[in-house]
């Protein structure tokens, strides 16, 4: 995506981020005890105790929901829900 | 102390189980009394969790070949395949495997893990290639992807449609593409539609890599694996396998119809920088391979045992993960129940594997039984009786409990 297009997409970033965030939370909830409030800062491993494969499975759901390709390599570098949202959002923009 | 803190949580569970003498991951086989029997905690136990599918670990011809090689060529090669450890036996085994599979080339590695690690990491380069892997692929395939540094995309397990969708997202991209699947998946014992995968991969100019670690010698009319059973030997690009299951030794291999496989000899680091398999290992594999090639009724005996176990377990109402296969897995609702069920079987004199997340598909917990052609009638009876008792004692291992 060109710099110009990225700027054009600017205003839609926040609501779309929120949509991705809510989508991820919806997929995470069945895997958690329900006693942790999910925020952007929630740590996937230390707080939610979600294993690495489950996170990859969630990413696969996101790939199909938005018809984008999310490499495993990108996900292995994310720790919090917010970082995962940001990584997915960036890929969405690049592949738009 | 910072270095060890990350282990503390897992270590607490691990140590508690070990202290209680109940750690499934530290079982010691004190004495092997045959291909399907060992003494565990002083007790004669039926081994139904060792991947000794053809039961050749005590094959007299394999043992004699290994003993001869030991006398003739020594205990170890003290060198790597690349630098100073390639013997005539390594080359001969590569030729024999390539001929058996009908490919031009084959490379022998020191373990099956290293075969996948080495081949995948050498074939794909960061920024130049993309790897597509089945979600349920073994850790060594994931590790090969990671070591390669290349972009890696997962597709849904055993779904050519999911692969097609993901490959389509890269159509027009000039990068090299390699698709990795397994013939039989070792957790559930389910098999891949290899030919369909080959068609999808090739439609998108991708190569197909099939790991037949658990299916070599077991599937196919001639024992060439699921790829043979699926009539796909001539369309797959890379075929990997191990010596530590049906061939009853240790080591691994990658074979291909592409002569370029040979380039991996100077690019696959897990091939280049580790000691080559010992002469005795290679000799026993060559002898075991002859048994696979000759058939010798072994596969028939294996499949008879598979059907006996699977049929009995189904009768007990146990929740089975897949159709009859050399791996038969019973699903349990969670780790704790799987652990108790595993322990229950061991107390009945039957050793199987317990598998729990994250090493399992869909975060399942299961007991994995590996069938052997060497399981005797007595072994089969003991195992079936133990599973019958399990079905009585663990209602949640039965299908009805989940309805």
Overall average pLDDT of the B284-306 stretch: 95
| Residue A68 contacts B where some CB pair is shorter than 8 Å | yes
Query: Token pair 């349990």 is at which residue?
Result: B332
B170: chain A residues, CB-CB within 8 Å: 69
Mean of pLDDT over chain A: 79
Task: Decide if B171 contacts A69 (C-beta within 8 A).
Answer: no
Kindly indicate the confidence band of residue A35, based on its pLDDT and cuts at 50, 70 and 90: confident
What pLDDT is stored for residue B218 in this prediction? 96
Query: Percentage of chain B surpassing pLDDT 70?
Result: 99
Overall average pLDDT of the B291-295 stretch: 92
Overall average pLDDT of the B332-349 stretch: 95
The 10s digit of each residue's pLDDT in B162-210 is: 999 999 999 999 999 999 999 999 999 999 999 999 999 999 999 999 9
Task: Decide if B286 contacts B140 (C-beta within 8 A).
Answer: no
Taking CB atoms and an 8 Å limit, are A54 and B154 in contact across chains?
no
CA distance A88 to B377: 55
Q: Mutation target for A interface from B153, B175, B362: give the one with most A CBs within 10 A.
A: B153
CA distance B148 to B140: 12
Interface of A with B in 41-60 (CB under 8 A): 51-54, 56-57, 59-60
Taking CB atoms and an 8 Å limit, are B357 and A64 in contact across chains?
no
Size of interface A-B (CB pairs under 8 A): 42
Interface of A with B in 3-32 (CB under 8 A): 31
Distance separating the N- and C-terminal Cα atoms of chain B: 49
Q: Mutation target for B interface from A45, A57, A79: give the one with most B CBs within 10 A.
A: A57
Who has greater pLDDT, B207 or A47?
Answer: B207
B166: chain A residues, CB-CB within 8 Å: 63, 69
Q: What is the DSSP string of A60-80?
A: HHHHHHHT----HHHHTT--B
Among partner residues A31, A69, A95, which is closest to B166 by beta-carbon distance? A69
Q: Cβ contacts of residue B79 below 8 Å, gap of 6+?
A: B85, B86, B275, B276
- Per-residue buried b or exposed e for B358-379, using 16+ beta carbons within 10 Å of the residue's own CB: eebbebbbbbbbbbbbbbbeeb
Among partner residues B156, B169, B358, which is closest to A51 by beta-carbon distance? B358
Overall average pLDDT of the B256-283 stretch: 98
What pLDDT is stored for residue A11 in this prediction? 36
What pLDDT is stored for residue B213 in this prediction? 98
The 10s digit of each residue's pLDDT in B147-165 is: 999 999 999 999 999 999 9
CA distance B350 to B369: 10
| B11-15, B59-63, B263-267: the lowest-pLDDT one | B11-15
What pLDDT is stored for residue A7 in this prediction? 37
The 10s digit of each residue's pLDDT in B86-140 is: 999 999 999 999 999 999 999 999 999 999 999 999 999 999 999 999 999 999 9
Q: Please say if the pLDDT value at position A28 is more than 50.
A: yes
A72: chain B residues, CB-CB within 8 Å: 142, 145, 152-154
Question: What ipTM describes this predicted complex?
Answer: 0.83
CA distance B329 to B397: 11
Taking CB atoms and an 8 Å limit, are A51 and B135 in contact across chains?
no
What pLDDT is stored for residue A8 in this prediction? 40
| A22-36, B37-51, B88-102, B365-379: the lowest-pLDDT one | A22-36
CB atoms closer than 10 angstroms to residue B6 = 10
What pLDDT is stored for residue A6 in this prediction? 39
What pLDDT is stored for residue B403 in this prediction? 45
What pLDDT is stored for residue A15 in this prediction? 57
> Distance from B207 to chain A by nearest Cα, in Å?
18
Who has greater pLDDT, A36 or B54?
Answer: B54
Overall average pLDDT of the B310-317 stretch: 98
Tokens for B58? 């005590």
What pLDDT is stored for residue A16 in this prediction? 62
CA distance B130 to B89: 35
Q: What is the DSSP string of B177-236?
A: EEEEEESB-TTT--B--HHHHHHHHHHTT-EEEEE-TTTTTTSSTTS--HHHHTT-TTT-
What pLDDT is stored for residue B401 in this prediction? 60
CA distance B187 to B389: 23
Overall average pLDDT of the B37-55 stretch: 97
The CA-based angle B110-B226-B146, given to 5 degrees, is 45
CA distance B253 to B251: 7
CA distance B179 to B208: 5
Q: Chain A residue closest to B139 (CA)?
A: A53
Q: What is the DSSP string of B237-272?
A: SEEEEESSSTT-SS-EEEEES-GGGGGGGGT-HHHH
B155: chain A residues, CB-CB within 8 Å: 60
Mean of pLDDT over chain B: 96
Q: Cβ contacts of residue B264 below 8 Å, gap of 6+?
A: B107, B118, B119, B122, B123, B254, B271
CA distance B126 to B151: 7
């Amino acid at each position: 995506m060109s710099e110009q297009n990225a700027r054009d997409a600017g205003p839609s970033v926040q609501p779309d981020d929120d949509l991705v965030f809510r989508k991820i939370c919806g997929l995470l909830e069945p895997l958690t005890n329900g006693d942790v409030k999910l925020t952007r800062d929630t740590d996937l491993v230390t707080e939610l105790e979600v294993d690495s494969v489950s996170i990859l499975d969630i990413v696969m759901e996101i790939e199909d929901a938005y018809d984008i390709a999310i490499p495993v390599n990108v996900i292995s570098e994310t720790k919090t829900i917010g970082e995962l949202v940001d990584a997915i959002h960036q890929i969405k923009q690049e592949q738009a | 102390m910072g270095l060890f803190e990350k282990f503390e949580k897992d270590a607490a569970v691990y140590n508690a189980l070990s202290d209680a003498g109940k750690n499934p991951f530290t079982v010691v086989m004190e004495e092997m009394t045959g291909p399907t029997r060992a003494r565990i905690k002083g007790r004669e136990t039926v081994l139904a969790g060792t991947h000794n599918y053809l039961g050749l670990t005590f094959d007299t011809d394999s043992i004699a070949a290994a003993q001869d090689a030991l006398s003739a060529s020594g205990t170890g090669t003290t060198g790597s395949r690349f630098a100073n450890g390639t013997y005539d036996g390594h080359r001969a085994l590569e030729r024999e495997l390539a001929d058996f599979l009908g490919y031009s080339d084959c490379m022998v590695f020191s373990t099956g893990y290293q075969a996948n690690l080495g081949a995948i990491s050498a074939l794909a380069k960061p920024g130049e290639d993309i790897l597509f892997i089945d979600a349920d692929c073994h850790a060594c395939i994931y590790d090969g992807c990671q070591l390669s540094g290349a972009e890696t995309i997962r597709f849904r397990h055993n779904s050519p449609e999911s692969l097609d969708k993901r490959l389509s997202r890269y159509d027009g991209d000039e990068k090299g593409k390699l698709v990795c699947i397994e013939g039989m998946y070792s957790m559930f014992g389910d098999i891949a539609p290899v030919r369909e995968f080959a068609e999808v991969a090739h439609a998108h100019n991708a190569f197909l890599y099939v790991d037949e670690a658990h299916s070599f010698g077991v599937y196919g009319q001639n024992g060439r694996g699921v790829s043979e059973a699926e009539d796909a030997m001539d369309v797959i690009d890379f075929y990997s396998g191990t010596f530590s299951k049906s061939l009853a030794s240790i080591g691994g291999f990658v074979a291909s119809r592409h002569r370029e496989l040979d380039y991996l000899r100077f690019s696959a680091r897990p091939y280049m920088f580790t000691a080559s398999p010992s002469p005795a290992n290679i000799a026993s594999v060559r002898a075991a391979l002859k048994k696979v090639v000759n058939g010798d009724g072994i596969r028939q005996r294996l499949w008879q045992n598979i059907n006996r176990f699977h049929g009995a377990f189904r009768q007990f109402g146990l929740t089975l993960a897949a159709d009859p296969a050399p791996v038969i897995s019973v699903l349990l609702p969670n780790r704790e129940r799987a652990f108790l069920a595993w322990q229950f079987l061991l107390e009945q004199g039957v050793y199987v594997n317990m598998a729990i997340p994250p090493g399992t598909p869909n975060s399942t917990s299961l007991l994995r039984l590996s069938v052997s052609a060497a399981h005797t009638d007595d072994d089969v009876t003991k195992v079936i009786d133990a599973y019958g008792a399990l079905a009585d004692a663990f209602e949640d291992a039965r299908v009805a409990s989940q309805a």
